[in-house]
Structure 1
């Protein structure tokens, strides 16, 4: 696994690993010109949530949805006395989790983290929740207009975040891990036979962008890069691409460089399929 900070003041991603599970989180950035109802901030939130999750999924009697529900409630209890958790402006995070449970490989994805599973002869499956891209379409188009790094661009991003906050964790909007445990019910979750899974990757959107935003790799070639060179190499190649387009002219985006986290899980049900 590897995680590096983007252009923000702190890395808002978090990755946690146990002998049977992996949790990857991507905290939602809060523009400095917008209010925040929590005194602790997003990096604190993702660290606390990740620590709760990796412990909870160790209990194989607890489903991944139930683990997420409990973890959100537990983190609420850590700061409800000092923070305004009834506000729209609270820390939030995307989630991707996997767990080995006997002969099963459990997974859960909430919001736009990406889980890539190599099922061998059955192909590669990319699991991602893109509902956030289906809301505030006009504001999103404006926020993607460059050049990145300018005050005008930052203002458009802040406008987008303001609108998204009003639609967060509501019917017709999109769902993330924040203060409402019911968001866990909206996650994409499932299981496949462990014997079918050859390798897998959990990626924040800062680490998946070479495929889904830049089109520079396929999911198959991304998995091969992770298997042969490791997550650090994937992030390094991502940074090279970002530096080659600093103003977002070729690849419009909200930040010149985003926090990037990748966790690679190999040699599960069988040896990696070298034919890829």
Structure 2
């Protein structure tokens, strides 16, 4: 029996504070789900992270459907390579995206995560969080977060500080000791975090972009993932997005929770295996 799948998505705002199309991408296939979170670009000469995520998702969908037994990291590497070659993307100077892949057979469920879009699997023993935390552990100096925490708010000076922070972080992208993300280097795929679970033990799976996970990891409006699961069960996935967005609306200047934008894109996928 196939799992019952629900998807909740909501766009955030751009760096100028205006609503624009979401850069999160979700693709649901008969035996797999793809969730990508395109990184917001600060370079007007580059395509957007959403543009990249959409094209990578298309390549992944075709490969997952056509090669259901191929290793997930190999599929991701091939997809990254095809997008990079097809659009002349250069490692270190190209748009990028997180990756969360879930695939299942009659006997097992497997997940792959690259950068900060986790997969949470609930079994009788409780939640198992498949997460790539390398970007969260990078050292952070004074910068836009310090400005926001003092009440400086969003505006042109915030963008200046944010661009500086992004330049610093970009130097640690897809290098040893830094963090790994889908961009133009296929080798990044083999740095992903992986896990497999017996299908008979899996009850529910949550997949989320960081516009949702911040409700657990940063804002604390959910004490843990079981609390998210409880709300999904009682009111549906849109209710989770509502709670996170309400927290952000209570902190419009980013003083309590310094963050790049007042509202990030949100994507949450719920798979109920029974």
| TM-score normalised by length of structure 2 | 0.89
Q: Choose from 115, 121, 129 the match for 2:132.
A: 129
Indicate the residue corresponding to 1:152 in structure 2. 157
Q: Deviations over 1:126-149 (max 9, x none)?
A: 2211211233421xx522220442
Is the CA contact 1:105–1:191 (under 8 Å) kept in the aligned structure 2? yes
Q: Deviations over 1:196-249 (max 9, x none)?
A: 111011000001111111111120010122233222221122111110111122
Is the CA contact 2:59–2:79 (under 8 Å) kept in the aligned structure 1? yes
Q: Choose from 53, 60, 68 the match for 1:60.
A: 68
Indicate the residue corresponding to 2:56 in structure 1. 49
Where 1:198 maps in the other structure, the secondary structure is strand
Q: Choose from 7, 14, 38 the match for 2:13.
A: 7
| Distance across 2 between alignment mates of 1:87 and 1:152 | 29
Paired residues in the alignment total 257
Indicate the residue corresponding to 2:107 in structure 1. 103
Structure-2 change in CA distance of 1:117 and 1:87 (3 Å): closer
Is the CA contact 2:95–2:183 (under 8 Å) kept in the aligned structure 1? yes
Is the CA contact 1:7–1:259 (under 8 Å) kept in the aligned structure 2? yes
| Distance across 2 between alignment mates of 1:23 and 1:190 | 16
| Distance across 2 between alignment mates of 1:10 and 1:152 | 24
Shift of 1:35: 5.6
| Distance across 2 between alignment mates of 1:180 and 1:88 | 9
| Distance across 1 between alignment mates of 2:118 and 2:84 | 26
Q: Choose from 183, 207, 210 the match for 1:205.
A: 210
Q: Deviations over 1:93-132 (max 9, x none)?
A: 0011111123010100000112111012x21112211211
Where 2:135 maps in the other structure, the secondary structure is helix
Is the CA contact 2:130–2:194 (under 8 Å) kept in the aligned structure 1? no
Mean Cα displacement is larger for which, 229-238 or 22-31? Answer: 229-238
Indicate the residue corresponding to 2:17 in structure 1. none
CA RMSD of aligned residues (A): 1.6
Structure-2 change in CA distance of 1:107 and 1:173 (3 Å): same
Mean Cα displacement is larger for which, 143-152 or 108-117? Answer: 143-152
| Distance across 2 between alignment mates of 1:79 and 1:117 | 35
Indicate the residue corresponding to 2:233 in structure 1. 227
Where 1:215 maps in the other structure, the secondary structure is coil
Where 2:228 maps in the other structure, the secondary structure is helix
| TM-score normalised by length of structure 1 | 0.88
Shift of 1:87: 5.3
Indicate the residue corresponding to 1:274 in structure 2. none
Is the CA contact 2:127–2:226 (under 8 Å) kept in the aligned structure 1? yes
Alignment partner of 1:215 is 2:220: yes
Q: Choose from 185, 189, 193 the match for 1:180.
A: 185
Is the CA contact 2:208–2:269 (under 8 Å) kept in the aligned structure 1? yes
Indicate the residue corresponding to 1:112 in structure 2. 116
Alignment partner of 1:255 is 2:261: yes
Q: Choose from 227, 242, 252 the match for 1:246.
A: 252
Q: Extract unaligned runs of 5+ from structure 1.
A: 272-276
| Distance across 1 between alignment mates of 2:105 and 2:75 | 14
Q: Deviations over 1:145-177 (max 9, x none)?
A: 204422222221111111111211111111000
| Distance across 1 between alignment mates of 2:135 and 2:225 | 21
